[in-house]
Amino acid sequence: MTSGGVGFRTRVEVGEVAEVEDTATVEATLVASRALLGVVARSLSGVLQEISLPQFRVLVILSTHERLRIGRLAEQLHMNRSTFSRVIDRMTSKGWVRRVPSSDSRREVLVEITDSGAAIVSEVTERRRQEIARILERMPVHDQRELMDALNRFSLAAGEPAVSELLDLGL
């Protein structure tokens, strides 16, 4: 429990739960998340003239999957299916995604990313990677390794894929 009477619970290992005793850890994480959000915003600045943030998120999700059902994509983005269908219409007309029939069901329609859509994700990811590298260059190597370990554990606790899986995907 913190001195203010508020404790933060986090998963340490499967089945094991720990309480965050110090709000300084939460505050430091918030500050770091703002710094990373700045990196994300700057990496997107060149493409947001032509693509919306929800559309970019669709491309990111599709870049990590071969094909997905429109309904599944809408669920992942917490969007109404009919509204989302219009988003996919716009993205299809721009050439970023394409609809493909499902081999399992004639009623199902799948969405996949096109080379043009993948290029947008690659461009943004590369900008992000370069800026993060510039920031890390300002840190001693030992601190970089500690940060990598801490971020890997944080990502695991948050339910994100392992860094090695993301690197395999080019993210």
In the predicted structure, residue 2 carries a pLDDT above the cut 50: no
From 58-62, 106-110, 151-155, 166-170, the region with the lowest mean pLDDT: 166-170
User: How many Å apart are CA 28 and CA 157, to the nearest integer?
Assistant: 17
User: How many Å apart are CA 155 and CA 171, to the nearest integer?
Assistant: 14
Which residue carries 């929800």 as its tokens?
A: 54
Q: pLDDT by residue (tens digit) across 128-160? A: 999 999 999 999 999 999 999 999 889 888 887
What pLDDT, on the 0 to 100 scale, is given for residue 13? 52
**Percentage with pLDDT > 90 across the chain:** 50
Which residue carries 């947001």 as its tokens?
A: 48
Q: pLDDT by residue (tens digit) across 91-102? A: 999 999 999 988
Work out the angle between the directed axes of helices 115-136 and 53-63 (0-180°, nearest 10).
90
In the predicted structure, residue 63 carries a pLDDT above the cut 50: yes
- Set out the domains of the chain in order of their start, with CATH numbers: 1-43 (no CATH), 45-138 (1.10.10.10)
Q: pLDDT by residue (tens digit) across 13-53? A: 545 656 666 788 889 999 999 999 999 999 999 898 899 98
Q: Number of helices and strands (H, E) in the chain?
A: 7, 5
